[in-house]
Amino acid sequence: MSNTHSGRRIHLLDEVRGFCVVLMVFYHAFYTIGYMFGVEFFKTLFDFFTPVEPFFAGLFIFICGICCNFSHSNLKRGLLLAGVAVLMSAVLWCGTRLTILDSGAMIWFGILHLLAVCILLYVLLRPTFQFIPTWLGVSLCALLFVLFMHVSPYDGSYFGISGLFTVSTPPVERNLLSYVLGLCYVGATGDYFPLLPWFFCFLAGAYVGRWRRKFPSWMSRNRFPLFSGIGKVSLWVYIAHQPVIYGLCFLIDTVF
């Protein structure tokens, strides 16, 4: 996911993305050790950090939107992510069928699926988005994100802002579209990021990325090479981290 323009790389984006990926690796490790291998202390750690997980995931999604303004081909980028996401789901499905993995580890529409769909929607709708001024686009996306933040397939779902106005969302028919949007529930999953509200987080980043030529020069300084390096290969870290974590836990559990 390139973020280079005018001959200089925006290392701050790599660093923040890398930091988010490191947090994700630890978070998933807590889940794997705690809930898949039954270590109570790690269950506690996972539950403790769960409330802040959407913040760092949202930051990762936001940066992905910004990088749409640096990519040479968002179509190729989106199709690559879609292929990886589908392959990951296929591997997990095989694992659950063979009882190697618990059914709750299955991912039908996780963060990779979301980013792939967001990028492809951006490619498709970009001519429309171009007519909206940047400041207005960022403002509208922020407002829509807040309005749709509590629309979910779970109990207590509503559209609006708590304390100002809310509209309860009615039950909807279970199908692929309602699941992708985040309006129906199809069972336990290890990762679920529906389009509502996360597409607006992504799109806000895409609008902010229009200001890339106005980004201050300090954003191009590489202050944290470790995080910057991880951020540059975040997709491959995401693909590899869970099999590595599970494999190490399985090996340790088997030996000891």
For 148, list phi and psi in degrees, rounded to 5: -95, 5
pLDDT at 193 over 70: yes
When the pLDDT of each residue in the chain is averaged and rounded to a whole number, the result is 91
| SS3 at position 244 | helix
CB 66 within 8 A of CB 209: yes
| SS3 at position 168 | strand
Is residue 194 included in any domain, yes or no?
A: yes
Alpha-carbon span 54 to 71, nearest angstrom: 25
Q: Which of 201, 63, 206, 62 is nearest to 128 (CA)?
A: 206
Domain count, the chain: 1
Is residue 32 included in any domain, yes or no?
A: yes
CB atoms within 10 A of CB 97: 11
What pLDDT does 156 receive?
A: 76
Alpha-carbon span 153 to 82, nearest angstrom: 24
Pairing of strands 165-168, 8-9: unpaired
Give me the percent of the chain exceeding a pLDDT of 90: 68
Is residue 3 included in any domain, yes or no?
A: no
CB 138 within 8 A of CB 208: yes
Is residue 1 included in any domain, yes or no?
A: no
For the segment 50-73, the average pLDDT, to the nearest whole number, is 94
3-42 pLDDT, tens digit per residue, is: 665 557 899 999 999 999 999 999 999 998 998 888 999 9
Alpha-carbon span 175 to 180, nearest angstrom: 9
Is residue 23 included in any domain, yes or no?
A: yes
Is residue 122 included in any domain, yes or no?
A: yes
The helix or strand, by DSSP H or E, that contains position 18, with its residue range, turns out to be helix 11-31
pTM for this structure?
Answer: 0.91
Would you give the DSSP letter of residue 32?
A: I
198-238 pLDDT, tens digit per residue, is: 999 999 999 999 998 889 999 999 999 999 999 999 999 99
What pLDDT does 103 receive?
A: 77
Is residue 171 included in any domain, yes or no?
A: yes
What pLDDT does 152 receive?
A: 86
CB 214 within 8 A of CB 200: no
What pLDDT does 20 receive?
A: 96
What pLDDT does 1 receive?
A: 54
77-118 pLDDT, tens digit per residue, is: 999 999 999 999 999 899 888 887 777 778 899 999 999 999
pLDDT band at 162 (very low <50, low <70, confident <90, very high): confident
What pLDDT does 121 receive?
A: 97
For residue 197, what are the CA distances in angstroms to 46, 149, 160, 246? 24, 5, 12, 30
Beta strands in 56-181 (DSSP E): 158-161, 165-168
19: left (phi over 0), alpha (psi -120 to 50) or beta: alpha
- Which amino acid is residue 58, in one-letter code? G
What pLDDT does 5 receive?
A: 52
Sign of CA pseudo-dihedral 31, 12, 113, 83: negative
Is residue 52 included in any domain, yes or no?
A: yes
pLDDT at 2 over 80: no
Owning domain of residue 37: 8-255
173-187 pLDDT, tens digit per residue, is: 888 899 999 998 777
